[in-house]
Amino acid sequence: VQLQASGGGLVQAGGSLRLSCAASGDNLIDYAVAWFRQAPGKEREFVAVIRASGGGGGRTYYGDSVKGRFTVSRDNAKNTVSLQMNNLNPDDTAVYSCAAKRFAILSVLRDPQMYDYWGQGTQVTVSS
């Protein structure tokens, strides 16, 4: 599967952005799809994941720093996964990447090394 992330940009603190991860080559419905981010000089950080629609039940999980502000969702008709980001703050500034893994079990969902497919990153910059 090939992934393409889009939707990044420059936004003021308190604003919102919506990122999209579009897939081709396979149907994302059977994949866990996660978002990670990496700021300059920092390690890659887990942001959110949505499990496969079948065995995973489409459940969602979030990193502590984004819980309550970000929402991950699927559009199966468009074969995309989106990340709605609200109430952004400068600490959210980073390159955001989407990743997918088929038949992912719960214990590996937050580990970027366990993902098999990655999209290119999209820059999100939040000004104060």
User: Distance (Å, rounded) from C-alpha 86 to C-alpha 84?
Assistant: 7
Instruction: Please give the average per-residue pLDDT across 26-40, as a whole number.
Output: 95
pLDDT in tens, 47-73: 999 998 877 788 999 999 999 999 999
Cα torsion for 111, 3, 50, 85, to the nearest 10°?
Answer: 100
Whole-Å CA distances, 35 to 19, 32, 70, 73, 128: 10, 10, 11, 11, 23
In a 3-state reduction of DSSP, which class is residue 114?
helix
Helix (H) or strand (E) holding 27: none
Helix (H) or strand (E) holding 91: none
Task: Say what the pLDDT of residue 119 is.
Answer: 96
Task: Say what the pLDDT of residue 96 is.
Answer: 98
Task: Say what the pLDDT of residue 103 is.
Answer: 80
Is residue 31's pLDDT more than 80? yes
Instruction: Please give the average per-residue pLDDT across 92-97, as a whole number.
Output: 98
User: Distance (Å, rounded) from C-alpha 52 to C-alpha 44?
Assistant: 23
Smallest CA-to-CA distance from 21 within 84, 122, 92, 98 is with 98
